[in-house]
Structure 1
Amino acid sequence: MTGNLGSTTLKKRRRVADPMMTYDRLPQPLRSWLAGAALPWSPKSCKRIWDKARRNGLSVDDAIVVLTETEQKTLSRDKYCVLVN
């Protein structure tokens, strides 16, 4: 049984961790940012950016700015130009 994969040639991937559990373990400011993000970020990728910013000595507010800038950079590459409120 192939489920809903259809005739795709993509390989199946198994998640190593539960994404909701990963989300629940994020710091509150990061969860708040993620809840209002324009893109559907994974908790794992947000945590990676957050940890790097914090390791570099940035404050919580500065880490949020880094996340927002990263999101804007990603949105600028979108050929359909997603509008952000």
Structure 2
Amino acid sequence: MSGNRGRTSLKCRRRSEDPMREYDRLPTELRAWLASAALPWRPRSVRRAFEAAYARTRDEASALRELDRLQSRLLAKDAGKIWGRGHPLAMGEFET
């Protein structure tokens, strides 16, 4: 465990970019989503996921819901590895 990420099985990498500068370049709706995110997303990852979701849905609100679903899947995957398959998040019992 390093930094303030807590215990996780998700990939952690060192970056040379300035995360605050990347965050400041995000559109307002993505900054708002990122501010309430349950995972420590990189601004570049959020932008890439949002752009892919927007390309599929052609609707901003739908693309943001796609981000919510993606985050829920990642949380469920991590919860299963960290706390076991019986954890409510791993079983899909909680909505994030």
TM-score by length of 2: 0.65
Query: Where in structure 2 are the equivalents of 1:39-78 lying within 5 Å?
Result: 39-78=39-78
CA gap of 1:26–1:14, structure 2 versus 1, over 3 A, is: closer
Structure 2, unpaired ranges of 5+: 1-12
Q: Give the C-alpha shift of residue 14 in structure 1.
A: 5.1
> The residue matched to 2:39 in structure 1 has which SS?
coil
Identity score, percent: 38
Aligned to 2:25: 25
Q: How large is the RMSD of aligned CA atoms in angstroms?
A: 2.3
Take 2:40 and 2:14, find their aligned partners in 1: how far apart are those partners?
19
Greater C-alpha Rg: 1
The count of residues paired between Structure 1 and Structure 2 equals 73
User: What runs of 5+ residues in structure 1 fail to find an aligned partner?
Assistant: 1-11
After the TM superposition, which segments of 4 or more aligned residues of structure 1 sit over 3 Å from their partners? 81-85
| TM-score, length-scaled by structure 1 | 0.72
Structure showing the higher helix proportion among its residues: 2
